Amino acid sequence: MKEVQDKVSELVKKYDLESSIEVRYIDLVSEVGELGKEILKSSRYGKKSFSSTEDFELELGDVLFSLICVANSLNMDLDQVFSNVLKKYHDRFSTKGDIGSGN
């Protein structure tokens, strides 16, 4: 993931796209909303089964890009973040039998 984070960082610097964490977060939420809109459109608002489209894939890429920008803004190593969450889920499953956070 380090390589991906570096590529995103280079693009952000090249095109002067630096933003505060607050703006990065709002952008991420907006992109997740656009991804949801593509799911609704593809399923005709639940009238048929979802089928991935090119627009859906592009929106998913936008979500990933925005999430990486959030991590980069906070100088977070996504390899470490991901390892930590995998351990968290493994530990939950080992102790509770599922990965949910509820009781």
Tens of pLDDT along the chain (103 residues) come to: 999 999 999 999 999 999 999 999 999 999 999 999 999 999 999 999 999 999 999 999 999 999 999 999 999 999 999 999 999 999 999 998 888 887 6
Q: For the chain, what are the domain ranges? A: 2-76
- Number of Cβ within 10 Å of residue 1's Cβ equals 13
pLDDT at 73: 97
- To the nearest 5 percent, what fractions of the chain are helix, strand and coil? 70, 0, 30
Question: CA-to-CA distance for 88 and 72, rounded, in angstroms?
Answer: 22
Quote the CATH superfamily of domain 2-76.
MazG-like (1.10.287.1080)
